[in-house]
Amino acid sequence: LFIALFMLREKMVRQNADVAGMRLRKADKYARKRLRKSEALLKQGKDAAFYEELLGAIWGYLSDKLKLPMASLSKDSARSLLVARAVDDETIGRLFSIIDACDMARYSGITANYEKSGLYREALTLITLLHQKLKKV
């Protein structure tokens, strides 16, 4: 029993030392946590914070899953990496339409065309879909 526990502990130490692997494994968890926070902000009526948190969840997820630092992550780099990982154009288009809608609402204040709860549900659906597609590759 002692040997088994020792080996398990060594395995956990090795896994925790792999920072990139840890980010990859926990990307979905962090994204869902930020989405829950954005949902709470939506219910509180804090629109600017809602859009900021929703964007943070999406960009953070993409950064972690695509193994690309946030500083060098852009729409073009994300699109090329998603295409390279066999994500279909429709999913990529839906993802960037959410990002565009959030950017438009945050910076211009125009929110008439976007239903906030719909954006939240769409973001949650797309992160789940991307998790399934990126897990296969």
Instruction: Give tens-digit pLDDT for 29-50.
Output: 888 899 899 999 888 988 888 8
Residue 8 has pLDDT above 90, yes or no: yes
Q: First and final CA of the chain: distance in angstroms?
A: 37
Residues 6+ apart with CB under 8 A from 87: 130, 133, 134
Contact in structure between 111 and 47 (CB atoms under 8 Å): yes
pLDDT reported for residue 116: 81
Identify residue 84 by its one-letter amino acid code. A
pLDDT band at 136 (very low <50, low <70, confident <90, very high): low
Lowest-confidence region among 17-26, 36-45, 80-89, 126-135: 17-26
What sign does the CA torsion over 30, 136, 87, 17 have?
A: positive
Euclidean distance between CA atoms 31 and 62, whole angstroms: 9
Q: What percent of the chain has pLDDT over 70?
A: 91
Give the model's confidence band at 117: pLDDT under 50 very low, under 70 low, under 90 confident, else very high. confident
